[in-house]
Structure 1
Amino acid sequence: SDRRRRARILMKQYGRTINLKNDPQIIERYLEHHRAIWPEVERGLKSIGIERMLIFKLGRQLFMFMETTDDFDPGRDFPRYEAINPRNREWQELMASMQEAVPDAQPGEWWAEMKLVFSL
């Protein structure tokens, strides 16, 4: 069945975090952009194997949850996503201008990878 096939494909899950810059106007701009995400961005993310992406906010901290196809590789596929369409890179640069890494991020890490510690 289609449902069983989807369950087989959605094998990888990721949790990542980043902060928005500490400026209420920047935070509101970020939220406005995500209420009206560019269609190229949505298509581009799906084309590299991201089946589901949720972003939660508390204060200025963001938490992103992603479900991806089993063959998704962030190191390979996010650069590929930016290369698919110049608008995707433009979106990434715009979002990055409103963000800053969390203190616990690894050197050079933007969205910090979180470790799964419990699953029900």
Structure 2
Amino acid sequence: MKKFCLALDLKDDPELIHEYERYHQSENAWPEVTQSILSSGITGMEIYRTGNRLFMIMETKDDFDFSLKEEMDRNNAKVMEWEALMSQFQLPLSWSAENEKWVPMNRIFTLVPA
């Protein structure tokens, strides 16, 4: 198993943030999108928010490949529809690459109990 942590900002508008969170409630999940996530080798995903900053934790199979996931997404009309919808809420981080939404985070501390 691998673990990835990623960050993204939302537009700093309380109404947009509320709507974004509503889309992410489990009862509002698009089954085609959640199936695509699971089919790509992601075994678990959590998204947290503070202010307008989002933090995602992804757990994946050992052979998970971001490039393959991106290719799968581009070939899935429903995922592309979801991404276009979510783009109205999202604000890329100032240091993100062109067309990059979620930016991988670097682990800077680990505590391992003795």
When the two structures are superposed, what TM-score results if normalisation uses the length of structure 1? 0.82
Whole-Å Cα distance in 2 between the matches of residues 66 and 16 of structure 1? 8
Whole-Å Cα distance in 1 between the matches of residues 97 and 109 of structure 2? 22
1:7-86 maps to which residues of 2 (within 5 A)?
Answer: 10=1, 12-35=2-25, 36-83=28-75, 85-86=76-77
Q: In the alignment, does 2:81 pair up with 1:90?
A: yes
Q: Hey, which of these two has a bigger chunk of helix by percent?
A: 1
Stretches of structure 1 that go unaligned for 5 or more consecutive residues are 1-9
Q: How many residues align?
A: 109
RMSD: 1.5
Stretches of structure 2 that go unaligned for 5 or more consecutive residues are none
After superposition, the Cα gap between the structure-2 partners of 1:82 and 1:108, relative to the gap in structure 1 and judged at 3 Å, is: closer
Runs of 4+ in 1 over 4 A off after TM superposition: none
> Per-residue CA shift, 1:75-99, capped at 9, x if unaligned?
221231342x311111111112210
Deviation for aligned residue 1:108: 4.4
